[in-house]
Structure 1
Amino acid sequence: MTDASMTRPIRVLVVEDDPIAAEAHALYVQRLDGFELAGSAATGSDALAILRGQREPAGGVVDLVLLDMNLPDLHGLDIIRRIRGSGSSVDIIAITAVRELGVVRSAISSGIVQYLIKPFTYSAFSEKLGNYRQFRENLQAQASSTTQSEVDNALAALRPASQGSLPKGLSEETLRAVVSFLSSASEPVSAVEAASALELSRVTARRYLEHLADSGSARRMPRYGTRGRPELEYTWNR
């Protein structure tokens, strides 16, 4: 591993057929320190063509692929197999709505480094890629040979954060429900509207919406035109 590869940004290829999701993932990458957007592909064929065309040490090298598993031409598992069959060692993070255990197991056995289930918050995306960056840096810091403890430390960076990363009183299950509701909403929603749709109290809905706004996954703004003081409304940060 050269010094240049250790200091330059990690170049990321976004593979996603939904244009809104692709744009969001690209923007997320550009917000992260230590990462650089290498490009986007809407099909598996386009992604494979981009990867086949890379020539080191040219600037077009791709270090990490963010791969949707459901693409119009190829399944994500087939793309992973073709990438590995070509001899490429590019790292892959699956970003997908697919939850079937068989697909998850096959993806893991094919060598992905992370599996991120849609919909997710920017903070979850940031955590996954931050863990990956730490894993990569831990490995690159080693000499040509390594020790068991150094391997363990590198792999530990990929493990999910311990429970308690959410503010006290918030649960992952309810957060996923709020994220799903907000990210699919066609217009800004208030805490009252979220509470009604998700059968939560207004106070509870507002706590989750505020958490998403504070983490950068949603935007908050005043809603004018109502009686009394303006009510806050929230929009998913696409």
Structure 2
Amino acid sequence: MIKVLIVEDDPMVAEINKNYLGFVKGFSCEGIVQDTKEAESFLEKNQVDLILLDLFMPEKNGIELLMEIRKEDKSIDVIVISAASDIQSVKSALRLGSVDYLIKPFEFDRFNDALKKYKNEHEIIIRHDKFDQEELDEQLLHQNKFTIDSSTQLPKGLTKETLCSVVEGIFTEVKTKEKFSTETLAALVGISRVSMRKYLKFLADIEMVSVELDYKKTGRPTYTYNIKKENKNRIKPYLNSEVTF
């Protein structure tokens, strides 16, 4: 079981991350702390394998905590979960060894992918005392590389025909309102919400749409989307070249 510490100053977001974590097999939440001082105190008394780390916190920020962890040479991995999307924050986190970087708000699928990838690499490492070059290349360093030819292939389960309908639906929807939801777009296009979430995740991954977490007064928070008009042409390589929107 991979032991996880959640470092997040927003109690609602921390609870969402904890709930998400509970859906991924092989992980256990060992604790939730609201600032880096609490995190340092927790780590002095408890052993964890992975930290889900927010960057924006009172007093010392997440990058500073990550620096301390590296300075002390602790065998702890970090996945950053933050609203910070500026290049400096991303570069700093990656240079300090963050194994993944999730920008808030994010879908569960992206969280799930990050945890599963980490679990896979964690299990590969603990099974080996040493690697030869071929094993290292195949199992860790190059396992997630994409070739140029495959870079414009749709993820498994997505089709060009449905994607075209989804994109047309998005441009139809934004004519009447600035934001749209999975439910409204699924009804407009005529596919299930589960399928629509897969297409919207793909469009968010290529940054054609942006995602926001809408915290309602009652009930669970929901995701809303908006098209990034400056990035609308990013979809064209995945569809027929004559398609225009």
Shorter-chain TM-score bucket reads: 0.5 to 0.7
* TM-score of the two chains, using structure 2 as the length reference: 0.65
Consecutive unaligned residues of structure 1, counting only runs of 5 or more, are: 1-8, 55-60, 178-191, 216-233
State whether structure 2 residue 194 is matched by structure 1 residue 196.
Answer: no
Matched, 1:146 2:99: no
Equivalence for 2:67: 81
2:150 is the counterpart of 1:167: no
Name the structure 2 match of 1:26. 18
Letter in 2 for 1:211: V
Q: Deviations over 1:105-127 (max 9, x none)?
A: 11111111111111111111001
Which secondary structure does the structure 2 equivalent of 1:83 belong to? helix
1:88-237 equivalences under 5 Å are 88-142=74-128, 144-152=129-137, 153-156=139-142, 164-165=154-155, 167-168=158-159, 169-170=162-163, 196-198=177-179, 204=185, 206=187, 210-211=193-194, 236=221
* CA distance in 2 between partners of 1:125 and 1:33 (Å): 13
Inter-partner Cα distance in structure 2 for 1:72 and 1:159: 37
- Normalised by the length of structure 1, the TM-score is 0.67
Q: Does 1:40 align with 2:21?
A: no
Is 1:71 the counterpart of 2:57? The answer is yes
Instruction: State percent identity of aligned pairs.
Output: 29
Q: When the two structures are aligned, how many residues end up with a matched partner?
A: 188
Structure 2 segments unaligned to the other structure (5+ residues): 199-218, 224-245
Give the whole-Å Cα distance in 2 for the aligned partners of 1:10 and 1:197: 41
In structure 2, how many angstroms separate the alpha carbons of the residues matched to 1:89 and 1:41?
A: 19
| Aligned counterparts of 1:139 and 1:113: Cα–Cα separation in 2 | 14
Coordinate RMSD, CA, aligned: 3.7
Partner-residue secondary structure (3-state), 2:111: helix
